[in-house]
Structure 1
Amino acid sequence: MSTKPLQHELVLAGLDGANPLGFLAALGALRTATRAFHPRPVRMRWEQHGGWRPVLSSPVDTPDALADALHNCLTQPHACETCGKSHPHACALCVGDDLALPSETFREHAMSFRAANHEAAAFLAAFGSDAVTTTNSEKQPVIQDTAFRTMSGAGHQHFLKFARNICSACTRDQLKRDMFNTWRYADPVQNHTLRLDPLDDARYALRWSDPSGDPTRKKRGSIYGANRLAIEALPLFPCVPRGGTLRTAGFRQRRGTDGRSDVRLCWPIWTANLSLSAARSTLTLPAAGSETAEAIRQRGIAARFESRRLTIGKFRCFSPASPV
């Protein structure tokens, strides 16, 4: 007689579902735990614990055991077919320092990954598409990229390079800390941020002093564990061409009253225990306002949030979330 696998539940109290980085980190924890414990089941739901917090159902019953499993999964080295080195992060993070890739280069990587590296292919599909292109300063065709991209080389800010930096720097203790404790922003932020946290909006007008010259950036300001997990969530948001432009799953884009593009990340909070596959499907549900409250409730969705993507000069960041 077969027995049902023993499951344990842990509240990831450090991850706030009303924060875009917290939500992405929760998805990254679900995705990584699913890989780490395969074929044993992993599920996640959200509960109110001073805010919406993810509850992860898995074979382990302590924060230490979960941190060990996730860290082991994220630090298994492999030979990278892109850069030729041995490292643990997805090969797709090595296709460049930024996402403004020539369309032909992107296509070559896509064909290579599709045949031999499904994990890298999933990341690449979340980075952009060669089916919809734009031109760079040299008038060369480059891919349109993900709505999550917040920097593209200006001011020595590089999206993929900083993602690799975070992958290399993040420790097991930082994963545990950021999943289970209030964020203290105790890690050096310089060259180690994806600007997915609303607190990454470091405009001079909002600060006492010029943030670009702040010496404390070499000592604190980032949360490596949360950012590391958020990177693992990106494949859940693939990019698809639509209407002559590129759309990223989870984003709603329209023209504002001033004629400018209004881009918002929208996400659901669900109360049923969902597997990774079910959570992925839930992320693609219609945008806010297109369903009745009763229809939303019947889907097991207790709340929805949105965060506006802000463009400040040559950089992007996300606003504090609002319920919708």
Structure 2
Amino acid sequence: MNTVELPALDGREPLGFLAALGVLRVLTEESGIPARLSFSGTTACAHLHSPLQTTGDIAEALAEVVRSIEVTAVLPGIGRGFPPASGLGKDPLRWPRQEYRQRAADIRRTHPLAADRWLPCLTTDLAVDAQGRGALSPFIAPSGQQKIRTFFEMPLKAVRDNPEHLHEALTRWSRIEGFTGEYLDHRVLRSTADDPEGRPGREAGVPGATWLATMALPLFRLTGDGQKVRSTLWHRLAGDNVMIWPLWKPALDTDAVRCLLEHPTLKPIDDQPTVSQFGWAALGVFSVHGAHRQRIAGRNFDGVLSPLPVHVR
């Protein structure tokens, strides 16, 4: 095993953390490369432990997965048709609760791997939205005509067109104007103050990191209490959905990461984003961080994922 630092993947940032998990999952579950993940106690940057020797080697392994995806498909190992394509109108993967089980059975017949790996982390009938449909994962915040398919399709297209985005995701982020970043990164927002000529701001996201973040979703359990959705890392606190995650020093594989992310020691201890340090030493955790959806004035969607301080005691 070689240890390679990924300096652009800062675990204190929601997109950096999710992208680091995406690297781990893609390499292990899509490429079959044994890998483990840890974070620097000094810089909080991700460290990958694997047979790969450089960031270039890692980026090439990720690019190979991208190249393996069928031209008309959007997920590795999943043939075309899932998520179903859609144009204007309703998202064809968002079903009324009473239809959910039958629709899911249909998916299992046509795309069994998608039914096992992807559908359970995208939507669930254990909770409903305002229209009575199966609730979405809190990692997905559709805006305008965004659909579940475009959540994966747009980042994939960007890294297909320019595989160098994958190396940039690991080493030095390059923002692309007009790329939304699927609203997993608050720095995607731009205003006239961010433009040297004072022009109206356009969103500017990081394609490689965004694609990696979307690839992390199968690591998160999605459930509900009958009405409200529940997901790994997410907690309902004082009327706000808050994402809380740890950073750790031991090199963990995907199974160990799944266990750690759901460990009860890391759950908030009151209605505020507050966690206890009890048990951190045994788990190898050295810090925790948080984020929530920040609404955008004049926009009708859940908002952009933005950092939120977490109190420790």
Q: Give the TM-score normalised by structure 1.
A: 0.78
Distance 1:96 1:111, change over 3 A: farther
Residue 258 of structure 1 corresponds to: none
**CA-to-partner distance for each residue in 1:159-178, whole Å, 9 max, x for gaps?**
53143111112132111111
The DSSP-based 3-state class of the residue aligned with 2:118 is helix
Residue 135 of structure 2 corresponds to: 144
1:264 is aligned to 2:252: no
- Structure 2 unaligned runs (5+)? none
Distance 1:214 1:11, change over 3 A: same
Distance 1:310 1:109, change over 3 A: same
Q: How does 1:78-89 map to 2 (within 5 A)?
A: 78=70, 85-86=72-73, 89=76
Q: Higher mean Cα deviation, 167-176 or 19-28?
A: 167-176
Distance in 2 between residues matched to 1:249 and 1:309, nearest whole Å: 16
Q: Give the TM-score normalised by structure 2.
A: 0.81
**CA-to-partner distance for each residue in 1:9-46, whole Å, 9 max, x for gaps?**
110111110110000000000001113542x5211111
The DSSP-based 3-state class of the residue aligned with 1:44 is strand
Q: How does 1:303-318 map to 2 (within 5 A)?
A: 303-312=287-296, 313-315=299-301, 316-318=303-305
RMSD across aligned C-alpha pairs, in angstroms? 2.9
Q: Find the partner of 2:61 among 59, 69, 89.
A: 69
Q: How does 1:172-183 map to 2 (within 5 A)?
A: 172-181=163-172, 183=173
The DSSP-based 3-state class of the residue aligned with 1:307 is strand
Q: How does 1:1-324 map to 2 (within 5 A)?
A: 7-38=1-32, 40-49=33-42, 51-78=43-70, 85-86=72-73, 89=76, 90=78, 92-94=82-84, 96=86, 98=91, 101-103=94-96, 106-114=100-108, 116-119=111-114, 121-134=116-129, 136=131, 141-153=132-144, 156-158=145-147, 160-170=149-159, 171-181=162-172, 183-185=173-175, 187-190=176-179, 192-201=180-189, 208=193, 217=202, 221-242=204-225, 244-255=227-238, 261-286=239-264, 287-289=267-269, 292-312=276-296, 313-315=299-301, 316-324=303-311
Do 2:100 and 2:134's aligned partners in 1 also have CA atoms closer than 8 Å? Answer: yes
- Structure 1 unaligned runs (5+)? 1-6, 80-84, 256-260
Distance 1:54 1:275, change over 3 A: same
Do 1:75 and 1:88's aligned partners in 2 also have CA atoms closer than 8 Å? Answer: no
Do 2:73 and 2:82's aligned partners in 1 also have CA atoms closer than 8 Å? Answer: no
The DSSP-based 3-state class of the residue aligned with 2:183 is coil
Distance in 2 between residues matched to 1:110 and 1:214, nearest whole Å: 46
Deviation at 1:268, TM superposition (A): 0.8
**CA-to-partner distance for each residue in 1:104-163, whole Å, 9 max, x for gaps?**
665445324445532453221111212333453xxxx4111111222243xx44453143
